[in-house]
Amino acid sequence: MVKEKTINITESKDQLTNLSELILYNDDINTFDFVIETLIDVCGIEPLQAEQITLIVHYKGKCGVKTGTLNELKPVYNEMINRKLTVSIE
């Protein structure tokens, strides 16, 4: 006998609406290598994806880096600020 798994749509919708995004902005100070290294170390992003994000930031001016709750993103935000990167949580 197979049991069906049900999810409460209201709970799922609430979880999605409480998510924020960490945005990385372009600057003229940090090198590509430093930004890539920071994305790998601080955000846990794979090297290829970190490189792609860095190129998007360079050409578009900004890119979403990580999505999560405010409590999840705040420590990542703080560490990136400590490393002199320009980020925001939206």
3-state secondary structure 16-77: HHCCEEEEEECCCCCCHHHHHHHHHHHHCCCHHHHHHHHHHHHHHCEEEEEEECHHHHHHHH
Residue 2's SS3 state is coil
pLDDT digits (tens, 9 = 90+) for 19-78: 999 999 999 999 999 999 999 999 999 999 999 999 999 999 999 999 999 999 999 999
pLDDT of residue 1: 56
Q: Are 8 and 53 in contact (CB under 8 A)?
A: no
**Domain extent listing, the chain:** 27-89
State pTM to two decimals.
0.81
pLDDT for the residue 7? 53
> Contact 79/65 with Cβ under 8 angstroms?
no
pLDDT value, residue 18: 87
The H-or-E segment that residue 66 falls in is: strand 62-68
Q: What is the pLDDT of residue 56?
A: 98
Q: Residue 15: what pLDDT?
A: 55
What pLDDT is stored for residue 8 in this prediction?
55
- Spatial distance between the Cα atoms of 80 and 32, rounded to a whole number of angstroms: 14
Question: What is the reported pLDDT for 12?
Answer: 53
